Chain A
């Protein structure tokens, strides 16, 4: 079946522009995570959704970052007034989830590579 898809795959933005990154999780997956991966580093957690509820946004680096998942499926990560330090790969992952205390495998999308000039 289809895996996690993300679009666009590449995005070049001028400093100060707003960008929107889309994630299509695996159908039926309750849990959705966003991670940020700087060049040569491991992914770092940004935010977590369980269905449409954003239960953890502790990793969002500033109030310029905003994420939503209004219908509990597709999610969008929005970055306002982009800065050069926002340049990174943004990864989305989904898992079947929903069961307390059970760690489900997280399946990652290919990521969106954002370059802010």
Chain B
């Protein structure tokens, strides 16, 4: 089955700096890669996703890049703000396969943005 590795496990930045979180996956059949933000006591919330036919996607201060050859994808947050502090998870799945879209998650990154 799919295996997703995520690093770093913790990331501390100053407000206004950029933050980068990286993930690698093992199953070359995976074709959908979402990123979730989870705040304390809440469920994961989708912040951005990318499909395998696209190399990069951007939404305001958030961007995701995908390298299918190397089987890794990254989340980039620019101009970080204290409210970006949370746990971030990457995930992967093979949409349309017998996985029915079940997500395999990374271990999470605790992002702290200092004012």
- The yes or no answer to B115 lying at the interface (CB within 8 A) is no
Q: Which residues of A contact B32 (CB under 8 A)?
A: 103
A contact patch SS = loop
**A100 neighbours in B (Cβ, 8 Å):** 96
Q: Are B100 and A31 in contact (CB under 8 A)?
A: yes
In the bound complex, CA of A41 to CA of B100 (Å): 22
The residue of chain B having its C-beta at the shortest distance from the C-beta of A55 within the complex is B100
Per-residue CB contact flags for chain A residues 43-68 toward chain B (1 = under 8 Å, else 0) read 11100101000011001000000000
Chain B, range 1-41, C-beta contacts under 8 Å to A: 4, 6, 31-32, 34, 36, 41
Q: Which of A43, A104, A105, A110 contacts B42 (CB 8 A)?
A: A110
Question: Which residues does chain B contribute within 8 Å of A31, judged by CB atoms?
Answer: 100-101
A105 touches which one: B41, B49, B104 (CB < 8 A)?
B49
Interface check B102, CB cutoff 8 A: yes
Chain A window 64-77, contacts with chain B (Cβ cutoff 8 Å), 1 for yes, 0 for no: 00000000000000
The chain B residue with its CB closest to the CB of A40 is B108
Tell which of B43, B96, B108 touches A42, judged by Cβ atoms closer than 8 Å.
B108
Nearest B residue to A99, CB-CB: B96
Scoring B residues 52 to 94 as 1 if CB is less than 8 Å from chain A, else 0, what string do you get? 0000000000000000000000000000000000000101010
B-side residues, CB < 8 A to A, are 4, 6, 31-32, 34, 36, 41-46, 49, 51, 89, 91, 93, 95-96, 99-108
Which residues of chain A have a CB within 8 Å of any CB of chain B? 4, 31, 33, 35, 40-45, 48, 50, 55-56, 59, 91, 93, 95, 97, 100-111
